Structure 1
Amino acid sequence: MIRVDDTYDAFLLESGGEEACYDYFYQCRWPSGYRCPSCGHKDCYIISTRRLPLYECVHCRCQTSVTSGTALEGTRTPLSKWLYAMKLLGRPAAGVNAVLLGKLLKVTYKTAYAMLDKIRHCLSLLPPEKLSGEIQAGISVMGWTIDSGYELTEKQHPIAVGISLDENGEPDRLAMMVVPRTHMMNYSLKPSGRDLFRETHFSDDADTLSNTIYHSQLLTIKRCRSLVSIYKASYKQINGIYRGVHPRSLPKYLAEFTFRWNAAARNGNTGNCIGTSISTITATSSSSVPNTSSSNSTSSSTNTSSSKRTSVSSITSASISISRQIAQACMAYSLSHLAAA
């Protein structure tokens, strides 16, 4: 349920407007200042005759913008609406579907779906987080629950799920993966499927690799009490908020759920602090974001700090909000990455 103070208009007032949202994405892409994506030079001219300013490198004349070379390249949707969508998608309690997002942003369903699909795709491309220490892991099946005998139907999809436990026995990290049917024997996970899940989501130490991955859903329910409630919540969210998903898109939705769950766990489940993040960035942006107020096509050159584009590894920092982690993921991957995936 979206509260009145969570509407797009309220978010725009709280965040400081479109310029503050632009500065937010600028900081996500160049946290220490502009760097030419072609030669790495730090000086640029500003071409401010377009909706989004262009930065022209003084060394190689390469022109780039905040969104060029990212998943947001070519978008005609205001960046504030993208950031609002990321805020809703990053809520620890639940995400948002395209129908609701379209109504909140006053855009078409097609636009809202494309925005959410790009964000989820970027999250699915992030390197999987590794489980370590004591682990509960097993197999579950998503889809129709009608008794179909001993064979999986086309509408049933096997999911490998695992959580790592902290010193107090509480879940602190989650991993989920759609299991290819070649690694299943009816409702049981083959040894090859268990090896695939270990290789993808387990750390390399011997103690972690020695954890048992239960090959059937019945054993998983009996032996993995902490795990069952988590994957039931994910299924409830997919069926409740999204009204089910196409099998082709299921890995993206699982990636969204696991990313949000792990990010909330790292942040102490304190929820989304997007307003604080924007205020902090806006206060410091004057020293690193070039002045875009000039109407000339070639403004004066600007110097910025020497640091390369943010790396994917920095996305997992526990000190930043869930929404900023999502924004950094979208800044880290280009449209070519999405097309190749």
Structure 2
Amino acid sequence: MYIISTSDTSINAVSLAKRIDVTYKTAWSMLKKLRQAISDLDRGILLSGAVEAKLEVYMKQPIPTYEALQREHAAIIARTVTSTNCSYFKIKLLPAQKHPRGLLTNHAEKQFIKDHVSIDYTHLEINRRFVHPPRCQAILPGIARSAFEWMNETFHGIGLAYSQFYLDEFCFRQNHKAKLGTCPFEYLLGLTLSSATKSLAAA
């Protein structure tokens, strides 16, 4: 928990297994449970107030052939800005969006709002078109690019089934940068203990 919450770049299962002298399977299982706890927390936090969002392309292919484009996936990066000017970020994959480089569909947009935006938001602005850099240099595209590059450089390829957990981990780290006076390790420790208590109660 300490390594995943305080490291600037996180850690993959191969490196963790060597560092704490366990098998790869054990290290992978530990990291999976921690990322699951982070994702569970994020699902319970809805964006409220003034919300900004933008369509992005996950696994964007450098050469857009027909076959390459089939590997791309749509995602939305969004943030809410609080009264203290701190942003809370979310990056969510959009399974309902078939063409990431096109316009955001009404169905995908409505599903995102339903799942991740509070009903008491005061303003919602969504850029429904993917814009190639460097035409758009705003905060959201930069955060999205940082997330996708971090995933590639740290984990060297992640299957789509697990990608959302890693995106949630990136946002967890990004969101904690703005929380002055808070310790991400203590926060993650309390989160996992709470999840374990709920699991035991359910059993």
| TM-score, normalised via structure 2 length | 0.83
C-alpha distance in 2 between matches for 1:204 and 1:147 = 38
Pairwise CA distance, 1:186: 5.4
- Structure 2 letter corresponding to 1:132: S
Distance 1:128 1:157, change over 3 A: farther
Deviation string 1:93-150 (CA, Å, 9 cap, x unpaired) is: 2211111111111222111111111111121122342223333311111115120359
Bigger-Rg structure (1/2)? 1
Task: Report what 1:163 is aligned to.
Answer: 79
C-alpha distance in 1 between matches for 2:114 and 2:68 = 26
C-alpha distance in 1 between matches for 2:122 and 2:53 = 14
Pairwise CA distance, 1:255: 1.4
Given candidates 58, 65, 79, the residue that maps to 1:148 is 65
C-alpha distance in 1 between matches for 2:162 and 2:132 = 28
Task: Report what 1:233 is aligned to.
Answer: 146
Q: Among the aligned pairs, what percent are the same residue?
A: 23
Task: Report what 1:122 is aligned to.
Answer: 37
* Aligned residue-pair number: 196
C-alpha distance in 2 between matches for 1:197 and 1:222 = 25
Distance 1:206 1:229, change over 3 A: closer
> Does the alignment pair 1:242 with 2:164?
no
C-alpha distance in 1 between matches for 2:133 and 2:92 = 15
Match runs of 1:131-280 below 5 Å? 131-145=47-61, 146-149=63-66, 152-153=69-70, 155-166=71-82, 172-180=87-95, 182-185=96-99, 187=101, 188-208=103-123, 211-218=124-131, 222=135, 225-266=138-179, 268=180
- Structure 1 letter corresponding to 2:163: L
Q: Which moved more, 1:320-329 or 1:238-247?
A: 320-329
* Cα contact 1:138–1:220 (8 A) shared by 2: no
C-alpha distance in 2 between matches for 1:162 and 1:156 = 19
Distance 1:156 1:325, change over 3 A: same
Distance 1:93 1:147, change over 3 A: same
Deviation string 1:274-302 (CA, Å, 9 cap, x unpaired) is: xxxxxxxxxxxxxxxxxxxxxxxxxxxxx
* Cα contact 2:78–2:140 (8 A) shared by 1: yes
Match runs of 1:25-174 below 5 Å? 86-91=1-6, 93-126=8-41, 127-145=43-61, 146-149=63-66, 152-153=69-70, 155-166=71-82, 172-174=87-89
* Cα contact 2:17–2:23 (8 A) shared by 1: yes
Compare relative contact order (CA 8 Å, sep 6+) and give the higher one, 1 or 2.
Answer: 1
Given candidates 305, 309, 325, the residue that maps to 2:187 is 325
* Cα contact 2:56–2:141 (8 A) shared by 1: no
What RMSD over aligned residues (CA atoms) do the two structures have, in Å? Answer: 2.8
C-alpha distance in 2 between matches for 1:238 and 1:151 = 19
Aligned-partner SS, 2:147: helix
* Cα contact 2:48–2:121 (8 A) shared by 1: no
Where structure 1 has 5 or more consecutive residues not aligned to the other structure, the ranges are 1-85, 269-318
| TM-score, normalised via structure 1 length | 0.51
Q: Which structure dedicates a bigger proportion of its chain to helix?
A: 2
* Cα contact 2:59–2:72 (8 A) shared by 1: yes
Match runs of 1:296-335 below 5 Å? 320-334=182-196
- Structure 2 letter corresponding to 1:216: R
Where structure 2 has 5 or more consecutive residues not aligned to the other structure, the ranges are none
C-alpha distance in 2 between matches for 1:251 and 1:239 = 14
